């Protein structure tokens, strides 16, 4: 189950936004789009929720476990994602149940003994640098 915690004049309010999730992580609020993005790492799915329209959309990844999703600044359908040790650009319209494209752009921990590591949860800083934890 996915929930959204919002602050109202009368105090915090918890709202159920999805029942189709197993282990949600990496919430990212896109202020411009007024949309919440997050991943279900067990699903494996990428979700978005638009509170103003009470609309929830999930994109199935066919076995590819996306561990974080951050909208790519200046675009409407591109997102920085991580898959295992890889950083990629996801093209997704936010409406369909499948992605348009996934392009891998970088990998970390390429040493043989680190092959099982994965980039897990992260954010972009104000200058656009991606910071992610390793697991």
The dihedral over CA atoms of 87, 135, 71, 8, expressed in degrees to the nearest 10, equals 180
Q: Is 120 annotated as a binding residue?
A: yes
- Strands 24-30 and 86-91 come out as unpaired
Residues near 130 by beta carbon (within 8 Å), at least 6 away in sequence: 70, 80, 87, 122, 123, 124
Q: Is 13 annotated as a binding residue?
A: no
Q: Which helix (H) or strand (E) holds 86?
A: strand 86-91
Residues pairing with 25 in the sheet: 39
Q: Is 110 annotated as a binding residue?
A: no
Known binding-site residues for substrate equal 118, 120
Residue ranges of the annotated binding site for a divalent metal cation are: 25
**Binding site: what residues are annotated?**
25, 118, 120
């Amino acid at each position: 189950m996915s929930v959204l915690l919002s602050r109202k004049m009368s105090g915090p309010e918890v709202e159920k936004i999805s029942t189709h999730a197993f282990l949600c992580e990496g919430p990212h609020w896109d202020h411009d789009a007024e949309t919440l993005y997050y991943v279900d790492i067990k699903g494996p799915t990428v979700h978005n929720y638009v509170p103003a329209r009470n609309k929830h959309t999930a994109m199935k990844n066919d076995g590819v476990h996306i561990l974080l999703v951050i909208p790519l600044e200046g675009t409407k359908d591109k997102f920085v994602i991580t898959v295992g040790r890889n950083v990629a650009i996801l093209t997704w319209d936010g409406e369909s149940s499948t992605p348009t494209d996934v392009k891998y752009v970088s990998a970390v921990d390429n040493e043989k003994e680190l092959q099982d590591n994965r980039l897990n949860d992260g954010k972009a800083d104000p200058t656009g640098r991606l910071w992610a934890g390793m697991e």
